Chain A
Amino acid sequence: GAGVSQSPRYKVAKRGQDVALRCDPISGHVSLFWYQQALGQGPEFLTYFQNEAQLDKSGLPSDRFFAERPEGSVSTLKIQRTQQEDSAVYLCASSLQGTSYNEQFFGPGTRLTVL
């Protein structure tokens, strides 16, 4: 596919469960970003990878959130012991190069609902 893909598109978890969200960036894109979007709000930055290196994780809200990109392509965002406040849409974006000037392209998001 030509765009960023994410799976699953929808996830319902019981409070306390662990979840894993997957992002497939555009082929060849160096940079990968994760964002969290609460209902009625703009997306908020979580973490940033350049190839396999996680260069910025300042937006991760707690140590229950963990992201990885071991081979510099697919990335997984893991949330441990989910809580109701984790309910949101999780968006992944990629850009071609590792500079600050490149356009970011977003996937469709994963809507997480924690009951």
Chain B
Amino acid sequence: KQEVTQIPAALSVPEGENLVLNCSFTDSAIYNLQWFRQDPGKGLTSLLLIQSSQREQTSGRLNASLDKSSGRSTLYIAASQPGDSATYLCAVRHPGGADGLTFGKGTHLIIQP
């Protein structure tokens, strides 16, 4: 059974710092991995999608990497801003299980002004 783990569960850093969020998954046979942002009381906003054949994706100050063989992904946020404060979730879609995404529990990020 695929399991997704996100470390740390919570993180608080001063504005301007670069930071890394970690995601690991137990079964490396995935179709893709998707990073999301969730603001309190809101739905999920898709940030980056990495297909299993790709190593990384970039969007603005965000960079996500994927090491499928080791079952790991990282989300790098450069020059953090208070508006980046949210919960960040990673999820994988994989064969052999249900057709939906399997999510981690998220990293709750606070950027201090």
Instruction: Name A residues whose Cβ lies closer than 8 Å to a Cβ of B.
Output: 4, 6, 33, 35, 40-48, 55-56, 58-59, 91, 93, 100-101, 103-109, 111
Contact = CB atoms under 8 A, between A and B. Distances in A.
A58 B98 contact: yes
Contacts of A100: 31-32, 93, 95, 99
7 contacts: A42-B91, A43-B101, A48-B99, A48-B100, A103-B46, A104-B46, A107-B43
A58 B97 CA distance: 9
Q: Assign chain B's interface to a size class.
A: 20 to 34
A41 B43 contact: no
Contact of A44 (B46, B99, B103): B103
B95 A45 contact: no
A19 B82 CA distance: 38
Interface of B: 4, 31-32, 34, 36, 41-46, 49, 51, 89, 91, 93, 95, 98-106
A63 B49 CA distance: 33
A91 B105 contact: no
Nearest to A4: B43
Contact of B34 (A45, A46, A48, A104): A104
Contacts of B49: 103
A48 B101 CA distance: 10
Contacts of A93: 44
A88 to B, nearest CB: 13
Contacts of B34: 103-104
State the 10 A-B residue pairs at the shortest beta-carbon distance, nearest first.
A45-B100, A42-B103, A106-B44, A56-B99, A48-B99, A108-B43, A100-B31, A106-B43, A103-B49, A45-B98
